[in-house]
Amino acid sequence: KSINSNKKTLIKITEGEEDLLILPLILEIPIEDQGHFAFYGQPPITDSSFVIPEGIVIVNVDKKIQEKVRKVIAIMEEF
């Protein structure tokens, strides 16, 4: 309901395993017009040869991104 309104919307989740909720959100964002972004928090990645600090990720949602997300979800559904 919030996604399909023409109002700016913030959905804040304070507990739980919310790290993958960005995926269905990206699929539901209408892309007929421009200027739709999805934001999510990035935890620090310290167990690789290149350390990535925590921060915020901004995704400009378009058809290309939605197709990539569809592929990821399809792979996840196989397991």
Is residue 32 very low, low, confident or very high in pLDDT (cuts 50, 70, 90)?
confident
List the domain boundaries for the chain: 22-77
Mean pLDDT of 62-78: 94
Summarised one tens digit per residue, pLDDT across range 53-62 is 899 999 999 9
- 77 alpha-carbon distance from chain centroid: 18
Three-class SS string for the chain?
Answer: CCCCCCCCCCCCCCCCCCCCCHHHHHHHCCCCCCCCEEEEEECCECCCCCCECCEEEEEECCHHHHHHHHHHHHHHHCC
Asked whether the predicted pLDDT for residue 6 surpasses 80, the reply is no
Q: Taking a C-beta distance cutoff of 8 angstroms, is the pair 57, 42 a contact?
A: yes
Q: Which pair of tokens denotes residue 19?
A: 């790290």
